[in-house]
Structure 1
């Protein structure tokens, strides 16, 4: 590709990013608003989702994954244990000091309910759009999924 074409691609991508970012931000905020206060904080919900996805994850690993300090995570995990959302797994046979975290049925139920509520809201909003608009969104799912991979 010649240099002028590359510059045009960059310019077009910048314009697209400027238009897309606020739309994605609004959509993300609205999806979060739909499930605000399910009995746990947004940070606890984030941690619980990570634990559901990676049963047996350790607190230090969870802190690294979510880019948070260990003590910050520990306090939230203790509160989530008291609420019956997470439990400690049996000690790791390789390292008896390490107890991984697992989501309880109650914790998995909360995450499932949050996801369902968000899906229901999004489906309702998508149903308001024209068939052509829904087709355009369907066509964009693949390329959007490639961003950040």
Structure 2
């Protein structure tokens, strides 16, 4: 189904695009849960993998979460054996976070579940719809780059 808008006016486009993005995002979060990890755990592990050595405070700030709340999530990930604290490279008084090999395996399982779910649905689309999806990737990424 191709959505035809009368004009590419931003408000109308946002109204049409938002529900679709939310539903796809929700389904991808559910796939993380099928891999045995909450969506929040996957988000936190992903951030630590992207920024090895990040501290709990910086992680909380990046995710717009209170520091005590983030600290409790990190402690749970440590208890699961997916995250360890490592000495900060620049300041020995601080510790940063690193993903363990077990945590990396969990992230790979999440990625695989999500990719499998998405690929199965993309495979059912006709080639023109796949081309449309491919063309939408760059503008969607540009939306993220415009964040303040």
TM-score when normalising by structure 2: 0.87
Structure 1: how far apart are the matches of 2:89 and 2:24? 44
Counterpart check, 1:136 vs 2:129? no
Structure 2: how far apart are the matches of 1:51 and 1:80? 11
The equivalent residue for 1:118 is: 114
The equivalent residue for 2:68 is: 71
SS at structure 1 position matched to 2:94: strand
Structure 1: how far apart are the matches of 2:43 and 2:129? 31
Structure 2: how far apart are the matches of 1:101 and 1:86? 7
The equivalent residue for 1:29 is: 26
Shift of residue 145, structure 1, vs aligned partner: 1.4
List structure 1 segments (4+ residues) > 4 angstroms apart after TM superposition.
Answer: none
- C-alpha contact (below 8 Å) 2:32/2:39 kept by paired residues: no
Per-residue deviation, residues 74-118 of structure 1 (Å, max 9, x unmatched): 1111111111000111x2354222011000000011011101111
Shift of residue 148, structure 1, vs aligned partner: 2.8
CA RMSD of aligned residues (A): 1.8
- The runs of 5 or more residues in structure 1 that have no matched partner are 1-8
Distance change >3 Å, CA 61–CA 136, structure 1 → 2: same
Structure 2: how far apart are the matches of 1:93 and 1:145? 31
- The runs of 5 or more residues in structure 2 that have no matched partner are 1-6
- C-alpha contact (below 8 Å) 2:30/2:39 kept by paired residues: no
SS at structure 1 position matched to 2:16: helix
Shift of residue 140, structure 1, vs aligned partner: 1.4
